[in-house]
Each structure stands twice: as structure tokens, then as C-alpha cells.
Structure 1
Amino acid sequence: MEAVQRSAGDGPLGRKLVEENQRRQRLRQMHVASPQSTRIFTISNQKGGVGKTSTSVNIAVALAKHGQNVLVIDNDPQGNASTALGVPHSSEVDSVYDVLVDEMPLKDVVVPSTESERLFVAPATIDLAGAEIELVSMVAREQRLSRAIAQYQEDREESGLERLDYIFIDCPPSLGLLTINAFVAATEVLIPIQCEYYALEGLSQLLNNIQMIQKHLNPVLQVSTIMLTMYDGRTNLASQVAEEVRTHFPDQVLETMIPRSVRISEAPSYQQSVINYDPQSTGALAYLEAAAEIASRTEVVS
């Protein structure tokens, strides 16, 4: 009987279970320190379907689980991040649209998420789709989100609330005024790249656009983090893509890769992050590790 148990533990599934248990044990023992000042990330990739919103939602929840105070700003008219974080975003709800177009204070828009007591959300409604056109004729159209965030931080301080440790801005997959506002408001860019064919397609254009933002609007912006998503270790292609991205961006790519996972895809339909939907899944484990790795890089990027 013992021989049978040993042989089961020595198989691929047994080794995987042992490895995951070891990873969970390391996470339980890990202390995630808060950054010295608020880190503001724009999650961006002009290529759709790369796990951009999943990254925004799950990294934010993971950091909140690690004891950080986090705000997610849903800057995408589809409102998928709002849905995944359990926040209402019908057209009657005050949203990021009201902040950008009508200069409503961000504090009047931000609501707590059901995912964690340390997580807050500024929701997006479909009205945001019209903001691209309405912002064109407005004064300081590129700085409106940046100014709203700065005022929100002051409002929190005056109210005696704890400082935010992280702000994540989820963007649409295009370079319009919504995305430009996010780039101007942020200090860091997190780029999710899927481990599939054409992974680097469009990336050079995105980097060129970021350089233009750095030159003309936000000199402190930097691409600090690249996350490999949808990784399938069973395929040679995924390994080749991961190696290629690491070769091009050795300092920015996280060691942690997000696996291709049915659980990650299912979670938003239940208005949850994968971390709360299935805490024992490999996807939840990967996002918790990635969040801890991002937090550990504070000294490098500050």
C-alpha cells in the first residue's frame, strides 16, 4: 500500500500537488511590505484578448489580500473590471465618465468592492464610450484623470483614511484619450503579454506611444512590469514565446507566469476574481505570487 502511495506521489500529478503546496506555504510565510508612496499602474496593451482586465482585477485583489490598500479605476467603457469586482455599473451609476467629463470628485464615485475590505473601485459605465469625443474640445483634456487622482488622495488624507498603496487603471485596447489620461496619471505601466503566436505584435507601437507620452506629457512614466499570461506549459510555443519576451525585456518580465485556466475565465461571470471564486486553483496561486513579486520590486521602480 505504501509503495502505491509513493508511486502516486512520484507521478506528474503528485509532483504538481507537492509543488503547489510548497508555493502556498511560502506565500503564507511571506510579508508584503507597503510601498513608501502610492504606486499608480496603467494596465495596457493595444492588442485585445491578452488578459488585461483579468490582470487588473486579480492583481488588485491579490495585493488587497496581502494587506495593501488598493483602488481600481475602470477606464474601459465595457466595464468588465467593475463586473468582476462586484460593483454596479449601470448607466444611472456615478462613474469615471462623470469624473473625466463633469469633473465630479473621484471620492463621490469610488465604492468598496465585495472582494476585499481593502479594495475600492471607480466603476465605468457605457457613457464612457462617448467621453473620447467629448474630451477632445476640453481644456487640459489629457490631465483630467491625473488631477482627479491627486485630489482624491488629498481628500482621503483630510478624512483621516489610510493612504492608498496601489492604484490600477484598466484601459480599453486602443490609444484614445481615455488611455492617454491613464498614461498621464500613472507612474508605471504593466503590460500583459499572452504566450501565444503574435504575442509581440503591436508591442513596438505601444512602446513608441509610451515614449511619446514620456516626452510630452509624463516624464516619470516607465514600463516597470511585463506579465506573461495564458501560459500553457504543455506546448513548445508557450515556452518559446516566454523565452523571446524575456530576451527582449530581461528586467521587466515577472518570474511568475499566469497559466491558461478555465477558472480564471469563469470567475468574472460570477462577479468575482479567481482568487475568491476558486482560492485553491493554480490561477489564484499564480496571481497571489505575481502580486507579491510586484510588491517586492518597490525599491527598484520607486
Structure 2
Amino acid sequence: MTEPISPATFNVEDWLQDAHLPEESATVYKRPDVVAELTDLKRRIGIENRANDVEQSAAAKTPKGLTEEYERLLRTFSDSALTVYVRALTRDQIAELRAESEAATKDLTPTEANAEFGYTLTAASIVAVKPAGGEKTPATFTRDAVKAMEKAIGATQMQLILAAKQQAQNGLPNVDADFFAQALWHGHWPGVVQVLKTARSAGKPPSHWFSPNRGEWTEKDYVLSLALTIYEDGLCSCGHPIAVAHHPDNDGWYDAHKTQCHSCAKREKATQGNGKDPYKPMPGEKVYTKYTRPASKPLPQEMLPVRW
């Protein structure tokens, strides 16, 4: 069962890169035709076992013979098992597939076009298969391949795959701008915030920084752009999110820390008075500092302090 996703536990980077999308599986059988024979054999075995007082001819099958045939068919049925793995599709993927499907089915009726789009979505969702006794293997299905599989296994078993696909799709978090901004507040994603700011300054889709694709603006890009505004508007002047820092239940749950900028300290000392007279800069005077630490005395490899 898929656990509920909250902004506090949401993995921002995974969502940005469409990583770890929900997956489900369904097991179908390529030999459903033997089910009727298995049912018939089971019934006949029961009758034979209850008919011990009836004389059996040499040509008649004994209960043992029927049982062996039942076991043989059962193995045939089990060996025909195929586990199909399906993965959720992102909104952008679905939108792209819909556009492609509409272009390919423009001459069909709406009902026929919708059916074709359903096969397209199913084909795109299938990512791997595992035969009975075999290993899970990546797989790529086409719309025609899905139709062929449905014809082979029947509509009833096909519904198992569709149900698994829907379950995986339901596990995909519905991320809007408010949700994403809250995730940024609750998590430690300074790198993501920097990327969003860079994208805004460059006037480019944020997704350009998270994937090798350089396409047009997608729905996810618009969510990210609005989320950055919501994120920034929701920060207190101290740099912490207002929703958290101003919450009455958080009284006493913050510690104050001090840090010193040695460059600023040196500049301030250089512009102090002599104790009697205030400092008077010369016309046009600019005070700046220069880093003079020699290479022979490298700075220890420690993490620099962060705001929060």
C-alpha cells in the first residue's frame, strides 16, 4: 500500500527528475484455455473418488490417471504465468502521449480514438515483464503489442494489468505550487532554490537544469516558477518559513547562533575613530578588504556555517 506523501517527507529531487515513480505489477496467464479443462478434471476426480463401488473397465481412466493429468495441466497453466510491471506516468508524459495519439487518430471517431489512447497509455506504462521461473526483464511495448496481448490473455486478465496501472498512477503525488513550496520550507533543498532563482533570472524553464532535455515550458516548469514565488513570499526576514517560525507551538524550539565575518570586522576596525574623534573618510575613499592567507597555510576542510 502506498504511504501518504506530505510536504515534510516529499523528496524534491526525485520528483524533479521523475525518479522512483510508483510501480505495480499484475500476473496474467498465457494459457487461460486450460482452466476449463482443470475444472472439468477436478469434477471428474471427485466423481471417481465417490464411485468406488462402480466397476472400472481396463480402458477407463483411474482416479490416479486423472490426478496425473490434472497436475500436468496445472503445471502447464502455472508455467504460462507472466508478471507485467507497470509504472506511473507523469502529467507531462501523459500530455505528450495524448498529443501524439490525437494526431495519429484524427480520422477515427471519438470513441475509437479514446480506445486507442488507452492502449497507448498502457503501452507506455509497461516497463518490465517476468515469465514464470524467469528474471524480471525491461520491456518496451507498443500499442499493437498491447492489443495482441489482450487478444491472447482475454479482456478479464487485461483488466488486472489496467487495475495495476491505475494503482501505480494513484500513487503519484499530486504536486501543485503550494505543495512544492511547503516541501522546500520543510526540507533542506538550497540547491533547488538556487536553480529556480537561476532559471528565473535566465528566463528559461527550470527543467533545463534538471534534465538534458531543452524543450519548451512544461506544466512542471510553471509549477516550479510559481512555487519559487510562494516560497520566497513565505519567508520571514530571518530566512525561516513563516508557517514554521511563527507557529505558536514552536516557541522555545529555536536556538540563536552567532557567527563573525572577519572581513567585515577588519573593515569596521579600519573605519573606527581614535576614541576621541569620529572617523572622517577622505573624499572618494572606499574601504575594502583583501584575503591574505598564504597557500602554505590552507584553510581546514570544514563546512562553512549556514543560515538554517
TM-score tier, shorter chain, comes to: under 0.3
Normalised to the residue count of structure 2, the TM-score between the two structures is 0.22
Normalised to the residue count of structure 1, the TM-score between the two structures is 0.22
More strand as a share of residues:
1
Asked which structure has the greater CA Rg, the reply is: 2
Higher RCO, 1 vs 2 (CA within 8 Å, ≥6 residues apart) = 1
